[in-house]
Amino acid sequence: MPRIPGIIWVQPLAETDDRLSRIFSPVSHLNAVKNSPELREAYEQTLPLLSEYSTWVGQHEGLYQAYRNLKEGEQYAALDLAQKKAVDNALRDFELSGIGLPKDKQQRYG
């Protein structure tokens, strides 16, 4: 993303998600194609942590609001098509994670 004031937080989040995916994808793949007790144990220990992180991010009100502010603000117009798609997808993912649900239902949903 270009250096647009007020949205420099988007790139580090995207990079963190990408790194996490690059680290876990081989483990997940190996677990599916060459399962072993050791690999299964590592996979099963890691999966709840990833799920917890994903739920935490997906239901993080501050991040959701920051993305909404970006989408509804003047800065959105300065983004290119791919960047707009990334913002739109992030908002979609928040909705799919239950961000719009009441707090008690978010906990059940997560």
Taking a C-beta distance cutoff of 8 angstroms, is the pair 11, 3 a contact? no
Cβ-Cβ contacts under 8 Å for 70 (sequence gap 6 or more): 6, 7, 10, 76, 87
Q: Read off the pLDDT of residues 15-39 as tens digits, 9 standing for 90 and up.
A: 999 999 999 999 899 999 998 999 9
Question: What's the angle, vertex CA 96, arms to CA 110 and CA 106, rounded to 5?
Answer: 30
What confidence score (pLDDT) does residue 4 get?
58
Question: Cβ atoms within 10 A of the Cβ of 52, count?
Answer: 11
Instruction: Name the stretches of the chain with pLDDT < 70.
Output: 1-6, 108-110
Taking a C-beta distance cutoff of 8 angstroms, is the pair 70, 87 a contact? yes
What confidence score (pLDDT) does residue 105 get?
79
What confidence score (pLDDT) does residue 110 get?
60
What confidence score (pLDDT) does residue 57 get?
92
Burial degree of 43 (CB within 10 A; 0-12, 13-18, 19+): middle
